[in-house]
Amino acid sequence: MADPAAHKNEHSHRKRYLAVWVALAVLTVLTYTLARIHLPGAWAVTVALLIAVTKGTLVALFFMHLWDQTGANRLVFATSLVFVALLIGLVIADNATRFPLANPPGSLGALPAGGADRDLPEAAAETEGP
Amino acid sequence: MNELMRRMLFLPEQASEYARSVDQLHFFVITTTMIAAAAVFGVAIYFFVRYRRRSDTEPTPRISPRPIHEVVFIGLPLSFFLLWFALGFPMFVSLQVPPKDAMDVYVLGKKWMWKFAYPGGPSSLDALRVPAGRPVRLLITSRDVIHSFFIPALRLKQDALPGRYTQTWFTADTPGRYQIFCAQYCGVAHSTMLAEVVVMPGAEFDDWMAEQRRGLKSAQDSSPVAIESVRFGSSLVGEGERVAAEQGCLKCHSVDGSRHIGPTWLNLYGRAEKLTTGKTVIADEAYLTKSMMEPGADIVAGYQNVMPTFQGKLSPPEAAAIVEYIKSLRTSAARPGPSEPPAYEPIPPGK
Amino acid sequence: MQASPLAHHFESLDKQAHAARLAMWIFLATEVLLFTALFAAYSLYRFLYPEGFAQSSRSIETWIGFVNTLVLVTSSFTVATGFHHASKGNGKGTGIFFGLSVLLALVFLGFKAVEYTHHFQEGQLPGPFYHYEGVKAPGAPLYFALYFLITGLHAFHVVVGMTVLIVVGTLAYRGKYTVAYHVPVENAALYWHLVDLIWIFVFPLIYLI
Amino acid sequence: MSPSLPASEAPAYAPRNYLNAPEKGWRSWLTTLDHKRIGVMFLVATSVFFAVGGLFAMLIRIELLTPGPTIMDAMTYNRLFTLHGVVMIFLFMIPAIPSGFGNFLLPMMLGARDVAFPRLNLLSFYVYLTGAAVALYGMIAGGADTGWTFYTPYSTTTTTNVVPILLGAFILGFSSILTGLNFIVTTHTLRAPGMGWMKMPLFVWSIYATSIIQILATPVLGMTLLLVALEHAFGWGIFDPARGGDPVLFQHFFWFYSHPAVYIMVLPAMAVISEVVCAFSHKNIFGYKAVAYSSLGIAFVGFFTWGHHLFTSGQSAVDAGIFGILSMFVAIFTAIKVFNWTATLYKGSISFKAPFAYFVGFLFFLVFGGMTGVALATVSLDVDWHDTYFVVAHFHFIMVGGVIMAFLAALHYWFPKITGRMYPEGWGLVAAVMIILGFNFTFIPQFLLGNMGMPRRYFHYPERFQALNVASTAGASVLALGLVIVLVYLVLSLKFGAVAGSNPWRSRGFEWDTPSPPPPENFLVTPVITRGPHEYDDSAPDFPPSTAPEPKHAS
């Protein structure tokens, strides 16, 4: 339980909150700036998401005290994240590896309009990647 | 053996090699299921009798499993299940990979009928004619909601998704007529969305196809199943399609996106076409109509000037119908212009 | 939950607090899963229409999202500080800091309202109502459908969170909680942090990439 | 746990019990916080909806007697099978065992006085009623014809009144979440002194696993149904193929909930069966840990298999492979349970009473239904069977054969505990035999229909399918008659049944250590758990002492 730990760390807690807040603000500014300078291709997404994950972890660990929670509470939260990843991952895996024409036309998963060829499945398997 | 099992399990006839191999797996799986169910149940019944309660205060021994018990409990079924998977999955994969030389047929589901079109050839309602012994790839789509194209005799099923294509293929080897169902619930007449696949000997099919291409036998095709009364006649798009088939447009223009003698009609409407002159035009109504009447005027880059003029062959309504048909040919409306309505025409339930 | 001390079926206050805290975490997990459906839809369509999503994302006011992120992060900090006061038995401090957070939340909603008005004027609306001229790439209507679903659902959570903060903050200000038992303050804070946490992911997804 | 009660004396009807204390009268029931009363109210409400759903089922079966229209038109038929599915799944099977029996029994099995949050518990009941009312309104105001699966784009374009039914299911989800949350917290925090995790009854383990699925899967369904409702009402959709949406995404979302939802229904059934098999073979469970952990295993792996509903929907072969192989693993946990239950009978002392008869039925249906389920997950076979009557028969084997068998077993097993009276054993066995045989006659023909290729949700069908359809309808009538008999004798037993006494089955379950019907506070003295929940091996005749010198707090 959090209480004994909280008593011990009373003073450090306030400082901790402050530090986390500053870190969050700095990361927000950072991600905003990086977005403005338009990193090439996949980097923009990767960096933005990495920063978001970092910020989220800070909030969860320190503001939400997962750092000093009991096992059950951590487990609950971790489990929910597993299922988030599961749903997103397998859904995208499906569309990324489908018979291309079964994806919405005009989308990356489907070929550009006007090219439904016999060799589609193989050609698509080579060009597609998540 | 095969025949006995097939009859015991009430399975329909097997019209392809694939159906026979699926049935082999079916027999294996059902047999193991039966044996397992019978074994568990038999053991349980033996226990019921052998260990029935004899007095009200009878104590029972505590029996705890040794690890080996649980290992057997897990390992035995799991190895069977994985074996099933190992046998079944390759068959599924083979369904996803049509052979290169397969003949294409376009299958369109709409409330509540199946329509089949042969590239550059005829189209028909509710009867899919295929040659025996030759691979046929089906490119399946839907005009409205999800349907599912199901041929029990071929053990084949594939959903038809609106606005996009799914594929499956088969090589039917036994000439005959087999039922096609719609297996995905699609509304009030779902259960009458039937059709037939007619497997013909190869030579016969070639003759039929040749005759179809001459436009002679188009009337014969829509007889077999219940809903022949539903025709495209009323819709402009259907009319355009009929005219296009009659006039032979589809001999040179594909409707599926493949490159042929002329540019494909799929997604043609609204497309920016680069011309031999280097200019670019948007394929709108005016351009399409002009191309029918003066085909040599604007040739799309990469194609020859081989198209005859249809001036005088097409009446203005017919030309308009063909334009409508071309407009309807798109993989969806996700082209530029986001709120563009879909390509399908919804039919209000209840006909 | 029970603001009154021990309920009859718990053996100790400690255990009751543990139960309430666990329940809150489970509830937060369901909230995460509730948003998951939207995030999954977003991810899929972003994967399918990278161009449409990128253009749409560029067509909206990034700086509002940026400022709102700072606002929410700060409110999360004030809530955490408020909870810190509660754990020391300073109910008044809790009330004040929670009040501050509610003000920040109002600022957040204010910006959101400005943004929504803007979208209405531009026609950046979901599905059939979409008539924005700026982005023609496929996927744009989907982007705005998801934009409104995600930010709308999040705004709804902000409103709920504000209500919770007001109620709990008032009770705390009146000295309802003690050092030994202040789990409602903790749960209210947890809820607000989750609202913040979700926004931290919404911000890059909607505005930046 | 009730040392004051003399063992093996003439059975007594506890004069002060939760039915009449602390207050009497319907008003006290509607505002009660007592988990037992809430459980009973859930049982009554779900049973009513079971009857409604059963009525729909009979109408469907009668309609299918002939290939064409028999007693209704296609539109009515489509509405009926939709409502049958919605009522049976959302209003009966998902809440029946967890919210009904779970509510009544879980705190007692843990030795607790109540669930952790009694107010939430009552709220859950009223949320259930609200959801049911909204859904019922939708059914009366036109009904929906989408099937309970609500596949887009059909569900978003249908002209029927699908929105209230979607919203009803959405609201019912909250009831489910609240109950699940309550049970998890209760299990974590309110175990009696001495009850470690490995001393929890298997019923609790299964309900606990169910609750995990409920809280993690239900929100996704809620969101999905809301999206469909939005798309239907305002065209504000993200599944609309005309705007580049992917209708298969809906199927992903839907089955992400609805496949685990199968385990929301089946796990509580397994919970009941684990108790019944021990109580009626008077024997310690064979492999406690295996059975307990397999519940968690089902809950976890059950989330990884949803794509096996999408093999023919245009899903990629890669996903089909992943889901296909993962589906093989989830069946293993069920197999573990089945084997352990069977092994429990070995050297037991089996009294063949009605609950045990339902266990026998359950065992058969679960093995056959479960293995046909694995067969369906065998990818290429699914291509043939998908959306045919084979699937219908398979899931009815699991749902009806599994869940309803367990529901009836529970109803008979705990009837004396809940009401303090016995049901007539002879009639119980007669009805059980009728139900089990009727059930087989109903659904085995449907397996064969599926093999013949009859798709589901068919109003018209080719004549060659008629014989088996008639057989199925005949079986359904026997099944229905059996269920009516159960209803009649159970209602009569409420008044005329013999007084049961605290433990008529000589069961070792903790819930039997208190008078029947139990007092409002469950146990007269706070129980201290000293033995496992299913121990029948000691020589003590009935009630082993259950006090320990040093109460140890479970955390």
Cα Rg, chain C, nearest whole Å: 20
Confidence of residue D107 (pLDDT cuts 50, 70, 90): very high
pLDDT at B309: 74
Higher pLDDT among residues B328 and C200, named by residue: C200
What is the side-by-side strand order in the sheet with B103-110?
A: B123-125, B113-117, B103-110, B136-142, B166-170
* Contact: D241, B62; criterion CB under 8 Å: no
In angstroms, what separates the C-alpha of B298 from chain A's closest C-alpha? 19
**B345 within a domain of the structure (yes/no):** no
Contact D295, D275 (CB under 8 A): no
Handedness of CA D223, D226, D232, D236 (dihedral sign): negative
Q: Where are the domains of chain C?
A: 13-208
Name the DSSP class of B341. P
pLDDT at A113: 39
The tens digit of pLDDT for each residue in B62-106 reads: 888 888 988 998 999 999 999 999 999 999 999 988 998 899 999
Say how far apart CA A114 and CA B253 lie, in whole Å: 12
Lowest mean pLDDT among B85-99, B239-253, C61-75, C110-124: B239-253
Q: How many domains does chain A have?
A: 2
Range of the domain at B29: 2-52+62-96
The tens digit of pLDDT for each residue in D137-158 reads: 998 888 888 999 999 889 988 8
* Contact: D244, A107; criterion CB under 8 Å: yes
Close Cβ partners of B241 (under 8 Å, ≥ 6 residues apart): B123, B232, B325
Lowest mean pLDDT among C98-102, D331-335, D531-535: D531-535
Could you say which of B222, B244, B272 is where a domain stops? B222
CATH number at residue D356: 1.20.210.10
Fold category of C13-208 in CATH? Four Helix Bundle (Hemerythrin (Met), subunit A) (1.20.120)
CATH number at residue B285: 1.10.760.10
- Statement to judge: residues B155 and B185 lie in one domain: yes
DSSP track, C6-51: --TT-S-HHHHHHHHHHHHHHHHHHHHHHHHHHHHHHHHHHHH-HH
Could you say which of B187, B222, B257 is where a domain stops? B222
Say how far apart CA A25 and CA D396 lie, in whole Å: 56
* ipTM value for the complex: 0.87
Name the interface residues of D facing A (CB cutoff 8 Å): 188, 212, 216, 220, 241, 244-246, 248-249, 252-253, 256, 303-304, 307, 310, 314-319, 322-323
Q: What is the pTM of this model?
A: 0.84
**B344 within a domain of the structure (yes/no):** no
- Region D321-326: what's the mean pLDDT? 92
pLDDT at A6: 45
Confidence of residue B19 (pLDDT cuts 50, 70, 90): very high
Q: Which residues of C touch D245 (CB under 8 A)?
A: 45, 142
Name the DSSP class of A62. I
- Statement to judge: residues B172 and B259 lie in one domain: no
Nearest to B197 by CA among B215, B173, B216: B173
**Smallest Cβ distance to B156: which of D360, D377, D383?**
D383
Say how far apart CA B92 and CA D378 lie, in whole Å: 9
Range of the domain at A49: 1-69
DSSP track, D83-128: HHHHIIIIIIIHHIIIIIIIHHHHHHHHT-SS-S-HHHHHHHHHHH
Phi and psi for A111 in degrees, rounded to 5?
-75, 160
Q: Which residues of C touch B337 (CB under 8 A)?
A: 136
Residue C74 has pLDDT above 70, yes or no: yes
* Contact: A102, B258; criterion CB under 8 Å: no
Any C CB within 8 A of D113 CB: yes
- Region B105-118: what's the mean pLDDT? 88
Say how far apart CA D71 and CA D68 lie, in whole Å: 10
Q: Which residues of D touch B52 (CB under 8 A)?
A: 349-352
- Statement to judge: residues B151 and B210 lie in one domain: yes
One-letter amino acid at D314 equals G
Confidence of residue D1 (pLDDT cuts 50, 70, 90): very low
Name the DSSP class of B117. E
- Statement to judge: residues B119 and B209 lie in one domain: yes
* Contact: B338, C128; criterion CB under 8 Å: no
Close Cβ partners of B184 (under 8 Å, ≥ 6 residues apart): B146, B147, B148, B159, B160, D151, D387
Side-chain half-sphere CA neighbours of D336 within 13 A: 24
Chains touching A by CB (3 or more pairs below 8 Å)? B, C, D
Which residue is listed with tokens 């492979």?
Answer: D321
Q: Which residues of B touch A121 (CB under 8 A)?
A: 96-97
Contacts 24+ apart (CB under 8 A), B67-70: B69/D287, B69/D343, B70/D287, B70/D290, B70/D336
Any B CB within 8 A of D319 CB: no
Residues 94-153 of chain C with CB under 8 A from chain D are 126-129, 138-139, 141-142, 145-146, 148-149
**B343 within a domain of the structure (yes/no):** no
Confidence of residue B331 (pLDDT cuts 50, 70, 90): low
Question: C-alpha distances in angstroms, C141 versus B64, C127, D226?
Answer: 61, 5, 18
Any D CB within 8 A of C17 CB: no
Residue B234 has pLDDT above 70, yes or no: no
- Statement to judge: residues A10 and A62 lie in one domain: yes
- With helix as H, strand as E and coil as C, how does D141-173 read? CCCCCCCCCCCCCHHHHCCCCHHHHHHHHHHHH
Q: How many domains does chain B have?
A: 3
pLDDT at A52: 92
Pairing mode of beta strands B127-131, B195-200: parallel
Say how far apart CA D468 and CA D443 lie, in whole Å: 10
Lowest mean pLDDT among B204-218, C61-75, C139-153, D385-399: B204-218
Q: Is D374 exposed, middle or buried (0-12, 13-18, 19+ CB in 10 A)?
A: buried
pLDDT at B62: 84
**Alpha helix locations (H) across chain A?**
2-8, 10-36, 42-58, 71-97, 120-127
Residue B251 has pLDDT above 80, yes or no: no
- Statement to judge: residues A49 and A91 lie in one domain: no
The tens digit of pLDDT for each residue in D389-429 reads: 999 999 999 988 889 999 999 999 999 999 999 999 999 99
Percent of chain B with pLDDT over 90: 35
Percent of chain B with pLDDT over 70: 84
Close Cβ partners of A56 (under 8 Å, ≥ 6 residues apart): C197, C200, C201
pLDDT at D538: 64
- Region D457-483: what's the mean pLDDT? 94
pLDDT at B215: 63
Confidence of residue B289 (pLDDT cuts 50, 70, 90): confident
* Contact: A76, C208; criterion CB under 8 Å: no
Percent of chain D with pLDDT over 70: 95
Range of the domain at D480: 32-240+249-513
Confidence of residue C109 (pLDDT cuts 50, 70, 90): very high
